[in-house]
Amino acid sequence: MEIIKPENLVYKKTDLMTDKALSYCPGCGHGTAHRIAMEVIEEMGATEDTIGIAPVGCSVLAYEFMNIDMQQAAHGRAPALATAMKRLWPSKYIFTYQGDGDLAAIGTAETIHACNRGENIVIIFVNNGIYGMTGGQMAPTTLPNMKSSTSPYGRDEEMMGHPLRITELIANLPGVHYVTRQAVHKPGNVRKAKKALRKAFEQSYAKKGLCFVEIVSNCNSGWKMTPTDSNVWMEDNMFPYYPLGDIKVDGNLIK
């Protein structure tokens, strides 16, 4: 067996990802989001001081892959559980990992009030515009005219309401310190998302308030597309409605 010298090592899987094979659909962004979150925690030396909370949905699988202390929450209730854990254990890094159906529908109240209180936690919000695990139903973030199993002719805004830009909404709350929207479908975007996660963990731990990182991702299975086509569709359709970049920095909205 050839031994690779450290100076020749291009990439090494973080020890904070388990050896279990990812069970997400091929092309899904969850795996990359998991990896960079765990890389950040490892690089910060916070392995023993971090607790993640995953609710129901595709996010619930996170505890099988993240090799840190994890706790499962009821659907939508991750911010409430994170609040309790952070207040009981203020020396810990506490984060939630949630999808759009969980965070912006079932858990809207928990999300809004945790953000408004300024709990010193990190919320990682994966937005793929659909209910991925339960059958591809329309979510609060489903785009206008976007088809789903419960909007087969496309989302009719007059009948079904407008997509919810939950990230812009919570950015206006005084308890939120840092809000950003990123993506993980290309190397450059992965680097930016990882940098944003590092900043979020550091600033929430410094008791500056809640930090919120949205990751716009694809759901090629729910969208009925190949992984490649879903990434193109995401760039052409999701990004114009959910533009990437910082929204609130150091407690100040970006104009």
Q: Annotate the chain with DSSP letters as a single string.
A: -PPPPGGG------TTB-SSPP-SPTT-SHHHHHHHHHHHHHHTT-GGGEEEEE-SSGGGGHHHHB-SEEEE--TT-HHHHHHHHHHH-TTSEEEEEEEHHIIIIITHHHHHHHHHHT-S-EEEEEE-SB-TTTTS-B-TTPPTT--BTTBTT---HHHH-----HHHHHHTSTTEEEEEEEE-SSHHHHHHHHHHHHHHHHHHHTTS-EEEEEEE---HHHHTS-HHHHHHHIIIIIHHHS--EEEEETTEE--
**pLDDT tier, 58 (very low <50, low <70, confident <90, very high otherwise):** confident
Each residue's pLDDT tens digit, 72-112:
999 999 999 999 999 999 999 999 999 999 999 999 999 99
Confidence of residue 5 (pLDDT cuts 50, 70, 90): confident
| Mean pLDDT calculated for residue range 47-71 | 93
Average pLDDT, the chain: 94
pTM of structure: 0.94
Q: Which two tokens stand for residue 132?
A: 């991925």
pLDDT of 138-176, one tens digit each?
Answer: 999 999 999 988 899 999 999 999 999 999 999 999 999
Q: Which residues pair with 182 in a beta bridge?
A: 215
Provide the pLDDT for residue 240: 97
Determine the pLDDT at residue 9. 66
The span from the CA of 43 to the CA of 205, in Å, is 15
Class of domain 24-253 (CATH, top level)? alpha beta
The answer to whether residues 17 and 65 touch, using CB atoms and an 8 Å cutoff, is yes
For residue 36, name the pLDDT band (cuts at 50, 70, 90).
very high
pLDDT, residue 1, reads 58
Query: Mean of the pLDDT values across residues 63-73?
Result: 95
Exposure on the CB side of residue 250, measured as CA atoms within 13 A: 0
Confidence band (pLDDT; 50, 70, 90) for 59? Answer: confident
Report the DSSP pairing between strands 122-127 and 210-216: parallel
Q: Does the pLDDT of residue 2 top 70, yes or no? A: no
List the domain boundaries for the chain: 24-253
